[in-house]
């Protein structure tokens, strides 16, 4: 019984974790706030807001229709109505639902963003005031005896007491959430955070890998894949154990080299394991193929009449033909090799289904990473197709999938007729909240536009709304972008924060005034890392969430491909979406299990090319380089100063990660809403039941 108690208690904690949110400038529909030149005419928001002038006007009309005679109540209701325009409205309307008409009203005098009990103030000011089409009646719709939303009502008609009212609409701010106190949300935490004195690394593996994915079962295992297309399942040694990767080169998990075309910018570019892989054995590979060598390499060309592109006029690189090379996402399974997918040690290299196939116009800039988001959908990163400076302006063409981040539902496979009707590129469906529903010119697969060559993206494991992508620059600047729904990241109107001027533009131009560009949150100039200004190419990483190096905790770690530097991005103030980037040194521990390669003229190790970063189930971070696999370890092993490190503390015990499992990812859509209450109720009843059984 004690074990069952512990199980439900852990379930309760993980559910609360999954349902919590952290402030980030995001609108209630997951878009980034708009930049405006002046204050809206009705709602008191300026600079950044989630409303355009039309939405502001519609809110004014809605307010006027309420016909509120009491000035005090009118002022309160106006501020609540305008909360939809707040740049933090995603947190204020925590379930991100169109059904939620009222933000979370602050009802705690100790909350960080509230000096008054605003929920009580709303009740006391409006309880006996008639309001037509009251916002506060929305949560009662469908209940017996509930007034129509078009009827005039008073709060006292809808709710028996202030306690009932604030139970429905109230909440508090904390380190994880914000609430609405009648004014635009402000974040006051400006406590300076010091950059780390350096990163301490140990080398735990040879081999050159392009991708690392922790085993979805939460164990100390991870999948590593090479660019030619071989995937290995490796055991990861505990921190401070002196161990190395347990991998058998002669026994790969799966070998896909027969299908994959491998060259400098071609190969197996990504892999993703279904969140329920331990139950269903489904996994996915993203790779390139050559249709002149493999009959299965067939797909529609990305240069076509839909995007005003004529393939006969394109001169590809390296003497190839337009769309000779394709980008592919294919699904595979462990079924047939093991009755328990979590115990499977290998899989058959036979495709279960082809998810996506698209021909590439040139031989570079096709990115190709895939990963499952916290919402359970598959995200697919696609570059601009190459050709130098995106000559056909694919990245800004909303009908092209080049230079985009896509979001696909691979759990609901459509019929052949549905695929044809929708004009899809393979076996997937479109999530209902993809941004094409707001922008009819956008292709339905698209989540974000304006990328050049997104090279390694990740979701913050502690804050799922933080979706970071590194985008490789052209001539001068390497950038890190905070990706939001429908966001436009500027290429090739901008390169980083600067206007870009292409030498030739057969595909036409996009003016800077015509796009609402979201500028990078971090990055570096080529001149900072290479005197010639040429040898620079960013490799995206992760927010550091491990306990191993407490002086790097919460920072976003990324690097340059050529080993020119490692950076730690610090968000200031916390949860604001604003970052300060700090270049940091990296050293190799003297007791590294494998000898690190020396870097000529430097005290640090030679990493070679930093291809990718990886993260295991304990949230430790890895660097996948041409010289091997490196792991970030505790600073004291490199004699680095970190006052937060307790070198005498007991080290972690091996075992599954304590972070919430992928099975709770559906909670991402319903943070702190009805589903959260239902989960708490379920757990409470379960605990009562278990108590009665003891």
pLDDT tens profile 482-504: 999 999 999 999 999 999 999 88
- Let me know: does 317 contact 362? Beta carbons within 8 Å: yes
Distance CA 635, CA 448 (A): 37
**CATH code for the domain of 499:** 2.120.10.30
**Does residue 213 share a domain with residue 127?**
no
Q: Left, alpha or beta for 426 (phi > 0: left; psi -120 to 50: alpha)?
A: left
Q: Is the pLDDT of residue 115 over 80?
A: no
Q: How far is CA 494 from CA 208, 469, 501, in A?
A: 33, 16, 8
- Mean pLDDT value of segment 367-395: 96
287, part of any domain: yes
* DSSP one-letter string for 356-375: EEEE-SSSS-----EEE-TT
Distance CA 635, CA 181 (A): 42
Q: What angle do CA 111, 94, 59 make, to 5 degrees?
A: 100
Do 203 and 166 lie in one domain? The reply is no
Percentage of the chain modeled with pLDDT above 70: 84
What pLDDT band is residue 172 in, cutting at 50, 70 and 90? confident
> Which tokens hold the place of 268?
């197996």
207 and 89 belong to one structural domain: no
Does residue 191 form part of some domain?
A: no
Question: 3-state SS of 411-463?
Answer: CCCCCHHHHHHHCCCCCCECCCCCHHHCCCCCCCCEEEECCCCEEEEEECCCC
Is residue 649 situated within a structural domain? no
User: Are both 310 and 429 inside the same structural domain?
Assistant: yes
Task: Write down the pLDDT at residue 138.
Answer: 63
Reported as a pLDDT band with limits 50, 70 and 90, residue 597 is confident
The last residue of a domain, from among 117, 152, 171: 171
The residue count for the chain: 694
Q: Are residues 257 and 143 in the same domain?
A: no
Which of 135, 151, 171 marks a domain boundary? 171
* Residue 66 · residue 163 · CB < 8 Å: no
Q: Which strands make up the sheet holding 454-459, listed edge to edge? A: 454-459, 467-471, 477-482, 522-525
Domain boundaries, position 535? 199-638
Rounded Cα distance, 41 and 124, in Å:
28
For residues 471 and 377, state if they share a domain.
yes
Joined together, the tokens standing for residue 621 give 């971070």
Can you count the helices (H) and strands (E) in the chain? Answer: 11, 34
Among the three residues 622, 638, 654, which one is the final residue of a domain in this structure?
638
How far is the C-alpha of 49 from the C-alpha of 33, rounded, in Å? 5
pLDDT at 661: 35
Mean pLDDT (the chain, rounded): 86
Q: Is residue 103 within 8 Å of 83, Cβ to Cβ?
A: yes
Kindly state whether residues 238 and 346 are assigned to the same domain.
yes
Q: Report the pLDDT averaged over residues 646-665.
A: 41
The pLDDT tens digits of the residues spanning 609-633 come to 999 999 999 999 999 999 999 999 9
pLDDT tens digits for range 271-322:
999 999 999 999 999 999 999 999 999 999 999 999 999 998 888 777 788 8
DSSP state at residue 111: S
Are residues 247 and 253 in contact, defined by beta-carbon separation less than 8 angstroms? no
Measured distance CA(485)–CA(498) in Å, rounded: 23
Q: Identify any residues that bridge with 614 across adjacent strands, giving them in sequence order.
A: 622
Q: Are 436 and 398 in contact (CB under 8 A)?
A: no
Query: In terms of domains, do 152 and 218 share one?
Result: no
Mean pLDDT is highest, among 89-103, 425-439, 671-685, for 425-439
Rg of the Cα trace of the chain?
Answer: 26
Q: Are strands 105-106 and 170-171 parallel, antiparallel or unpaired?
A: parallel
pLDDT-derived band at 176 (thresholds 50, 70, 90) equals low
In this structure, the answer to whether residues 111 and 256 fall within a common structural domain is no
Residue 288 in any domain: the answer is: yes
428, 432, 433, 437: CA torsion to nearest 10: 100
Confidence band, pLDDT 50/70/90 cuts, at residue 390: very high
Over 60: is that where the pLDDT of 143 sits? no
How far, CA to CA in Å, does 197 sit from each of 407, 636, 677?
A: 38, 11, 43
pTM: predicted TM-score of the whole model, two decimal places: 0.87
| Selection from 547, 580, 692, 667 nearest residue 95 by Cα | 667
Burial class (CB in 10 A: 0-12, 13-18, 19+), 669: middle
Distance CA 542, CA 70 (A): 51
Residue 156's pLDDT band (cuts 50, 70, 90): very high
Task: Tell me whether residue 666 is in a domain.
Answer: no
> Do 621 and 613 form a contact (C-beta atoms < 8 A)?
yes
* C-alpha distances in Å from residue 552, one per residue of 114, 400, 583: 31, 39, 12
Instruction: Please indicate, yes or no, if residue 595 is contained in any of the structural domains.
Output: yes
Q: How confident is the model at residue 145 (pLDDT cuts 50, 70, 90)?
A: very low
The residue that leads in pLDDT, 686 or 526, is 526
Is residue 177 in a domain? no
For 240-253, what is each residue's pLDDT tens digit? 999 999 999 999 99
The count of structural domains within the chain is: 2
Question: Residue 35: what pLDDT?
Answer: 84
Q: Is residue 470 part of a domain?
A: yes
State phi, psi for 499 to the nearest 5 degrees: -60, 135
The answer on 548 and 427 residing in a single domain is yes
**Does 630 lie in the same domain as 579?**
yes
Residues 163 and 214 reside in one and the same domain: no
pLDDT in tens, 5-59: 333 333 333 333 333 346 789 998 889 998 888 889 999 998 899 999 999 999 9
Strand partners, 414: none
**DSSP bridge pairs for 622:** 614, 631
What digits encode the pLDDT tens for the residues 197-227?
999 999 999 999 999 999 999 999 999 999 9
């Amino acid at each position: 019984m004690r074990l069952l108690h512990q199980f439900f208690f852990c379930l309760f904690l993980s559910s609360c974790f999954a349902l919590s949110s952290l402030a980030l400038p995001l609108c209630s529909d997951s878009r980034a706030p708009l930049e405006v030149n002046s204050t809206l005419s009705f709602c008191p928001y300026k600079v950044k807001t989630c409303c355009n002038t039309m939405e502001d006007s519609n809110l004014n009309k809605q307010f006027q229709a309420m016909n509120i005679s009491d000035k005090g109540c009118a002022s309160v209701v106006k501020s609540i109505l305008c909360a939809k325009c707040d740049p933090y409205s995603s947190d204020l309307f925590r379930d991100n639902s169109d059904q939620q008409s009222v933000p979370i009203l602050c009802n705690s005098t100790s909350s960080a963003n509230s000096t008054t009990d605003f929920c009580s103030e709303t009740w006391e000011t409006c309880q006996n005031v008639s309001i037509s089409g009251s916002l506060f009646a929305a949560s009662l719709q469908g209940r017996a005896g509930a007034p129509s939303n078009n009827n005039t009502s008073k709060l006292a008609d809808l709710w028996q007491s202030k306690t009932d009212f604030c139970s429905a609409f109230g909440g508090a701010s904390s380190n994880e959430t914000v609430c609405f106190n009648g004014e635009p949300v402000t974040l006051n935490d400006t406590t300076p955070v010091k950059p780390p004195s350096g990163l301490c690394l140990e080398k735990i593996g040879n081999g050159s890998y392009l991708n690392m994915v922790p085993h979805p079962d939460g164990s100390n295992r991870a999948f590593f894949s090479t660019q030619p297309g071989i995937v290995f399942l490796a055991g990861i040694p505990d921190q401070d154990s002196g161990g190395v990767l347990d991998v058998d080169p002669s026994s790969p998990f799966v070998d896909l080299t027969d299908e994959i075309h491998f060259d400098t910018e071609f190969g197996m570019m990504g892999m993703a394991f279904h969140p329920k892989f331990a139950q269903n054995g489904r996994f996915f590979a993203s790779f390139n193929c050559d249709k002149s060598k493999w009959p299965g390499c067939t797909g529609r060309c990305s240069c076509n009449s839909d995007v005003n592109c004529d393939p006969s006029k394109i001169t590809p690189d390296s003497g190839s033909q337009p769309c000779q090379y394709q980008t592919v996402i294919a699904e595979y399974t462990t079924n047939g090799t093991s009755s328990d997918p979590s115990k499977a040690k290998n899989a058959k290299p036979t495709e279960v289904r082809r998810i996506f196939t698209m021909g590439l116009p040139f031989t570079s800039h096709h990115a190709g990473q895939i990963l499952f988001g916290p919402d359970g959908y598959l995200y697919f990163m696609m570059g601009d197709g190459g050709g130098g400076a995106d000559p056909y302006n694919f990245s800004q063409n909303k009908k092209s999938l080049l230079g985009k981040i896509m979001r696909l539902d691979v759990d609901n496979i459509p019929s052949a007729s549905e695929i044809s009707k929708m004009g899809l590129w393979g076996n997937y469906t479109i999530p209902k909240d993809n941004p094409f529903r707001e922008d009819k010119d956008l292709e339905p697969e698209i989540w974000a536009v304006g990328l050049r060559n997104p090279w390694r993206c990740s979701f913050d494991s502690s804050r799922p709304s933080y979706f970071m992508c590194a985008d490789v620059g052209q001539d001068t600047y390497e950038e890190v972008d905070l990706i939001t729904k429908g966001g436009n990241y500027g290429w090739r109107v901008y390169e980083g924060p600067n206007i870009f001027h292409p030498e030739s533009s057969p595909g036409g131009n996009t003016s800077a005034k015509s796009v609402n560009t979201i500028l990078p949150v971090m990055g570096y100039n080529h001149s900072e890392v290479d005197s010639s200004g040429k040898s620079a190419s960013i490799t995206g990483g992760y927010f550091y969430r491990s306990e191993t190096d407490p002086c790097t905790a919460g920072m976003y770690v990324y690097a340059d491909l050529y080993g020119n530097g490692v950076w730690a991005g610090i968000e200031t103030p916390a949860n604001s979406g604003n970052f300060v980037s700090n270049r940091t040194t990296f050293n190799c521990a003297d007791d590294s299990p494998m000898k690190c390669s020396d870097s000529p003229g430097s005290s640090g190790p030679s990493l070679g090319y930093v291809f990718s970063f990886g993260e295991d189930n304990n949230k430790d971070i890895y660097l996948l380089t041409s010289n091997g696999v490196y792991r970030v370890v505790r600073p004291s092993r490199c004699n680095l100063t970190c006052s937060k490190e307790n070198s005498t503390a007991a080290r972690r015990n091996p075992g599954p990660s304590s972070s919430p499992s992928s099975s709770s990812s559906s909670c991402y859509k319903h943070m702190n809403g009805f589903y959260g209450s239902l989960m708490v109720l379920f757990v409470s009843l379960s605990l009562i039941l278990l108590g009665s059984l003891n």
